[in-house]
Structure 1
């Protein structure tokens, strides 16, 4: 076993413990998070990861609702991958939210949910204000489970491939989108390959690193602050993320990142 294999095994084995640590850190950091940016209220859709449901995004949605955003989950049950029901219903859901809130919707997607978010930005860009993906391996073929990918997330995705309506292939998800996009990744991700969670950086496309586990991204303090900051951006004046000086240590920086 190589050092890389041992590291990946260790990260996968410690995912639940590290996710719980993020939950504890959230309780301690809450007074600080009360100063997070707030922006123009607009519709926000939060999409869960593979094998998860809206239950997994309760903390994130409560946080965003507390900031004044009308936020909803997808209400499609457990996420088993891009089935025909999901691929048909998600564009209609975005359309209904955009009509209800009189403007494009921001989409926050965790893991596989972030891949759906990027696909929606390509399918219905006029209805999408921005995309924020949290640990989403869109850089691999099929959005996880591509050839040569032996991560735990890829293996789980492959078990449900017979249900999926979307063919394998990159589909341009790692390139530029027609809307602003923020790709959040963590080198300490024990479920997917963190390198696949980054996009080609551009004027309205950024990568931001955090220290979170994969399962803990939805309630990690650094991620919550980042999502609040991104949603506070105006439609016309979107700018890359710059953490406050006192929080800069929460965002490790790689080449091609905008934070730091």
Structure 2
């Protein structure tokens, strides 16, 4: 479905709501902290483009309070898919796996979701599940057409001179649905990424897409995201099931979950 230029501009302008999402997150997160139920398994949160672990600290702090062992990726700012950074991150995945005694969850925000999917496709035995937040993984890393903002697209290309062989290799790992439970959380009013590129259309029964009302920039401090993680993280890899919300919950939370067989909503 084509999106008009005026609508794209509107979506970019309302990214400012990330500030309000942060305020709501601060107010509501104690409710989920009080329901501590985490099993202590490892969770790695990978930041988005130009972001670092500082910008995911609030989310990781909440996950630790909920009873998980949440860590950052430890690679500074995320400038793009790069071989050396990928290998360093894989070492951290192995370390956290050994430290916590089992497969870990990967949470990738925006470009961080590219790393999360690629890591899970490379060594799935180390991964319990993958959750992406506003990540346009259905795109070629060479073309980067999924980036809605022209300025962000130009900056990405400037920082990532095309090495077609290397980028094509990672594109395959990113585009392929991981062989572990996978959830894509996205918003149709995303001002940075094309939401249609954030929907996984896999035939797999361990894959789901969840639409929420959110900004792209506010995904890591959005109360709805924290609520979803509260529901998703306790699931075991071997008996994972897609999230199913009742009608009342769907209306109250303004979110929709669906598989590739469902028709994606037009706006959120």
TM-score w.r.t. length of structure 1: 0.88
1:67-216 equivalences in 2 (<5 Å): 67-142=66-141, 146=143, 148-149=145-146, 151-152=148-149, 153-162=152-161, 166-168=166-168, 170-171=171-172, 173-201=174-202, 202-216=204-218
Structure 1 alignment gaps of length 5 or more: none
TM-score w.r.t. length of structure 2: 0.86
How far apart, in 2, do the equivalents of 1:135 and 1:31 lie? 24
- Equivalent residue for 1:226? 228
Structure 2 alignment gaps of length 5 or more: none
How far apart, in 1, do the equivalents of 2:144 and 2:227 lie? 35
Q: Would the alpha carbon gap of residues 185 and 150 (structure 1) be closer, same or farther in structure 2, given more than 3 Å must change? A: closer
Q: CA deviation at 1:24?
A: 1.7
How far apart, in 2, do the equivalents of 1:34 and 1:221 lie? 12
- Equivalent residue for 1:5? 5
User: What is the DSSP-based 3-state SS (H/G/I as helix, E as strand, rest coil) of the residue aligned with 1:140?
Assistant: coil
Q: CA deviation at 1:172?
A: 5.3
Q: Would the alpha carbon gap of residues 139 and 251 (structure 1) be closer, same or farther in structure 2, given more than 3 Å must change? A: farther
Q: CA deviation at 1:34?
A: 4.1
Instruction: Give RMSD over aligned pairs.
Output: 2.7
Aligned length: 256
How far apart, in 1, do the equivalents of 2:4 and 2:95 lie? 45
The answer to whether the 8 Å contact 1:39/1:233 transfers is no
Q: CA deviation at 1:28?
A: 3.4
Q: CA deviation at 1:135?
A: 0.5
